[in-house]
Amino acid sequence: MNPADGPLGSLHWPYAPEEDMSVPPLPDPRRPHRTGRFTDQTVVVTGGGRGIGRAVALAFAREGARVAVASRTREQVESVAAEIAGSSVYGTRAANTGTGPPSSLALRCDVSRADDVRAAVDQVTDRWGPIDVLVNCAGLFSMGDSESVPEADARALLETNAMGTLLMSQEAGRRMLERGRGRIVNFASLLSFTAFPGRAAYAASKGAVLQLTRVLGVEWAARGVTVNAVAPGMIRVETPHPGALDEDEIVARIPMGRRGRPEDITGPVLFLASEDAAYVTGQTLVVDGGWLSYGYL
């Protein structure tokens, strides 16, 4: 289908697939601390070594936060931490003026392992003190016929996406609750809400993230800790996400007429982690260019 001839008409659906991937420019990186709203806050981003997590880590650093990035691949988290530490665009004023500790930390951590999670959270708090914001972005993806998905693959996926989110939230959350303040932002998905064939384990894991977000949100609501999630739509990242549809079909189904970029997700994450969202908890914010609301094809 040519989206220009789509059911919403060309007035409401102006883009052809791939016609215009240009989006508003990112904030000028030469202007550090854009708003400074996370200045001197400590932020942990799991899955921060690449893709959306990397963009989220850089966005917090640009707003003045100390950022710890965690994943299983040491070189990737070290590279992002070095990117933050090596540029005056990022990081805390104290770090940038050489009067405080570095504003980034690389953590090798498998979020599905309780001992790794405990060690990572200890390392951050030993270095910087209490964690202000936890972003649970680490995630695995797979697809295959449900009747034959290998048990090990399904377990790995559920243990990373669902258990990893729970373990990190427990370990950081306990300390946030003691302190009476904290922000947790989880990563759900369109598959938290709807079904695609061949994604049983992934959808189950992201459905679990949605419900974890609700339960922790209400349980911790009166104790100063908010728990929310973003649900990204079709985001272009380097890691291949194999699927049954070709790229034109995917783009044609997105009302905004383009895939998202990792940077399309950072604003909503920072909002949920900020004081602006102080009265928001247990919510999942869908960031998908209109995909989930669109009911035609």
Ligand X SMILES: NC(=O)c1ccc[n+]([C@@H]2O[C@H](COP(=O)([O-])OP(=O)(O)OC[C@H]3O[C@@H](n4cnc5c(N)ncnc54)[C@H](OP(=O)(O)O)[C@@H]3O)[C@@H](O)[C@H]2O)c1
- Both ends of the chain: CA-CA distance in Å? 10
Q: Report residue 198 as tokens.
A: 């061949």
Cα dihedral: 51, 53, 54, 57 (round 10): 160
Is residue 120 at the binding interface for ligand X, with CB under 6 A as the rule?
no
Annotated catalytic residue, options 202, 279, 294, 296 = 202
Subset of residues 246 to 275 that bind ligand X, contact rule: CB under 6 A: none
At residue 190, what is the residue type?
Answer: L
- CB 22 to ligand X: min, Å: 19
The interface mask with ligand X, positions 70-109, x = CB under 6 A, is: -xxx--x--------------------------------x
Is residue 169 at the binding interface for ligand X, with CB under 6 A as the rule?
no
Contact pick of 42, 92, 104, 112 for ligand X (by CB under 6 A): 112
Only one residue has tokens 């972005």, namely 137
Which H or E run contains 91? none
At CB < 8 A and 24+ separation, what contacts does 173-180 make?
A: 173/134, 173/216, 173/220, 173/225, 173/227, 175/121, 175/125, 175/130, 175/131, 176/130, 176/131, 176/134, 176/220, 176/224, 176/225, 177/220, 177/223, 177/224, 177/225, 179/130, 179/224, 180/223, 180/224
Is residue 239 at the binding interface for ligand X, with CB under 6 A as the rule?
yes
Is residue 217 at the binding interface for ligand X, with CB under 6 A as the rule?
no
Q: Is 202 a catalytic residue?
A: yes
Contact pick of 33, 50, 62, 199 for ligand X (by CB under 6 A): 50
- CB 136 to ligand X: min, Å: 8
Comparing CA positions, the residue from 245, 284, 216, 267 lying closest to residue 27 is 267
Is residue 200 at the binding interface for ligand X, with CB under 6 A as the rule?
no
- CB 173 to ligand X: min, Å: 18
- CB 88 to ligand X: min, Å: 25
**Catalytic positions:** 202
Binding site for ligand X (CB under 6 A): 46-47, 49-53, 71-73, 76, 109-112, 137-141, 160, 164, 187, 189, 232, 234-235, 237, 239
